[in-house]
Amino acid sequence: MADRWWVHKFGGSSVADAACFRRVAAIIEADQHPRLAVVLSACRGVTDALIGLVAAAERREAAACKDALEGLRARHAAIAGELLPAAARDGYLEQLDADLADIQGILHTVSLLRSAGQSVHDLVAGHGEIWSTRLFAAFLAARGQARGVRWVDAREVVTVEWGPLGPAVQWERSRENAARVFGPDATGVHVV
């Protein structure tokens, strides 16, 4: 089936460091299906660190927040520095720094309110996946992936709404979004 998608999902331990990113890239490069989706978790421990940031902001622990943000930046910058050529690394770090500035603003607001709703927790925690997927897409592209590499922001595809039982995927809307974002003739590697 030419139009069938092949999906690879890698958890946080699979993208824990630069060596892990290289192993994942080798797996993807070995799969010659024309339509691949690669779904990555945040690097091991990053989601927990981001959730911890929100909790620290609620407790007004500004120094802990600053240290944790610097640690997250250093970790991702080190991986990017090892994997990416200079121009791609600089572009990645520019986006990372913008995200970290946004998170810092959110944490400041949380600190003033001394409380964070579920949407704040979700927003902050979700950045780990954004950072790992952006990094992997840039890395795979830099390796010369012949099929083409495209980063896809899952927030543009998957629609989730909170109900009385917690979060639930809105499947119809998500399918419509996927059709719009990917298109019927999409080929190559799509890192989500």
Q: What is the pLDDT along the chain (192 residues), one digit of tens a residue?
A: 457 899 999 999 999 999 999 999 999 999 999 999 999 999 999 999 999 999 999 999 999 999 999 999 999 999 999 999 999 999 999 999 999 999 999 999 999 999 999 899 999 999 999 999 999 999 999 998 778 999 999 999 999 998 898 889 999 999 999 999 998 889 999 999
Number of alpha carbons in the 13 Å side-chain half-sphere of residue 164:
0
pTM: 0.93
Tell me the sheet residues that pair with 150: 190
Those residues with Cβ within 8 angstroms of residue 142's Cβ, 6 or more apart along the chain or in another chain: 83, 84, 85, 88
